[in-house]
Amino acid sequence: MGLPALEDRTLLAAVERALAVGNAVTQTDRAGTWTLEQAFERSLRLGGGLGAGVDRPVALLLDNSLDAVHVWLGVVLTGGVEVPVNTAYKGTFLAHVLRDCGADTLVVEAHYLDRVARVADEVPALHTLVVRGPVDGDVLPPERFRVIGLDEVDAPASPVRRRPEDLHAIMYTSGTTGLSKGVLVPHAHAYTYASREHQERPRAGDRALVTLPVFHLAGQWYGVYQALIHAIPCVLEPGFSVGGFWPTVREHGITVTVLLGAMAELLAQRAPAPDDVDNPLELAIMAPLAGDVAAFRRRFGVELAAVYGMSEIGAVLDGPPDTVVGGEAGFPREGYDLRLVDAEGHDVGPGRIGELLVRPQVPHTVMAGYHGRPEETARVVRDGWLHTGDAFRADEAGRFYFCDRMKDSLRRRGENVSSFEVERTVTEHPAVAEAAVVAVPSELSEDEIKVVVVLQPDAGLDPVELTAFLVDRLPYFMVPRYVEIADALPKTPTHKVQKNLLRDAGVGPATWDREAAGIRITRAGASGL
């Protein structure tokens, strides 16, 4: 097993190989089922109708559906460059992406037209809206756009054979402090990210379920594209539903899927049912892994596999189910050199935390750069190494563990503290739904730790109780001094916590202070609880 030669890592090459398997390769959503041959023909007609053209960007503001998948396939198969837009984007976020990518055409859900109308004056290059669903003529500015229905987009077209280095997509990241950056994704990068041909699964006979959004690489590439590469049927849901997940798995005979760690935790939090283990799902690939791998396996009878990736680098870590342990992100994937380095750029040894650097061994399997941002590209890619900004540690066996974003790391009492690990422990408390950990100024030269928590519906929580809970589970220097209960965490449209806002807020009237409450926690133990 292994990935194909570089020249065969393009979308068209993947489709051609899957077509050779026959009509067993299907795509299903709630509107119906398409054979891959039907999907291929429809995609080409959509691409032809959109008139994508070689290297022309086409923006997509679409919900999960096979219409969205076929538009994406059509644009790229006819030589164009897809620009998926997060469906949560509006206002400044939406205007920035549409303006920055330079697309003159946007394929959009009808119920998002009001958002487009509100930023119409900020995106002068955009002149054509292809609308999925009925159009309300009163929403859009008169004569500002050419508006056509998606069902009117239909013209014969032939596939355009692309090279591995040609652009497949511009994927926009969602920075927590600045405007999104457009990641230039070559065909070989998208293919390599999506493929698990170096692993045993997926394989013939598998059926894949995709609940993650197809505007994001996890849903589009690690979901739909992966199923296409492995020539297996794919079922696409509008989104993830805790109550609907297992019924969908059973209805469609799903054997493999990809989940975010938070989704796994939500499934695990549901009350146990007698038929939990009675399901066809065999493998769930998770990023990050569920907090209690063994318990999830036992309860649902599902094997788990680790993976870690980013838009800029692809999937560079993964781990097969027979080796996976709690908290890991996987082993280095063949085709990439990985390093962990300290602030001075020196390699760190096993057990030490360092920033992850990535260098591809095969060309065009990481990003080509940031669209229109050469300075940003040069800052991130230095001497051939791409600096991820993520902090990891590796054990003696070569297994990697995600620790934190470098900018979110803390140092307290001479010890490095992973906000990620503290947050994960805090959310183990049954009253806590979400948690975010940040550094706040200390009377000393280092940081104090503050945790902001969002409670489960109708739950209450005494900070003293939470502190006692954490004392039993965390090293003494990781137990937060400050606790604040909030209705919600500030987030970007892609649901990343804006920790910069929490840091800026500091310690306020609503913040509980452990030391002011007379509770002391040292290496020797806790007092005042």
What pLDDT does residue 326 have?
83
141 upstream amide cis, omega within 30 of 0: no
Return the axis-axis angle of helices 66-77 and 11-19, rounded to nearest 10°: 120
What pLDDT does residue 308 have?
94
Both tokens of 106, joined, read 């946007």
User: Could you give the angle at the alpha carbon of 85 between the alpha carbons of 81 and 87, nearest 5°?
Assistant: 150
What are the residue ranges in the chain where pLDDT is below 70? 174-178, 413-415, 443-446, 494
Which ranges of 86-240 would DSSP assign to H, the alpha helix?
91-101, 113-118, 187-194, 217-219, 226-229
Note the pTM of the prediction, 2 decimals: 0.86
436: how many CB neighbours lie within 10 A of its CB? 25
What digits encode the pLDDT tens for the residues 429-484?
999 999 999 988 876 556 889 999 999 999 999 999 999 999 988 888 889 999 99
What pLDDT does residue 494 have?
66
What pLDDT does residue 156 have?
95
Q: Are 9 and 187 in contact (CB under 8 A)?
A: yes
Q: Are 529 and 468 in contact (CB under 8 A)?
A: yes
**Structural domains present in the chain:** 410-527 (3.30.300.30)
What digits encode the pLDDT tens for the residues 90-144?
888 899 999 999 999 999 999 999 999 999 999 999 999 999 999 877 788 778 8
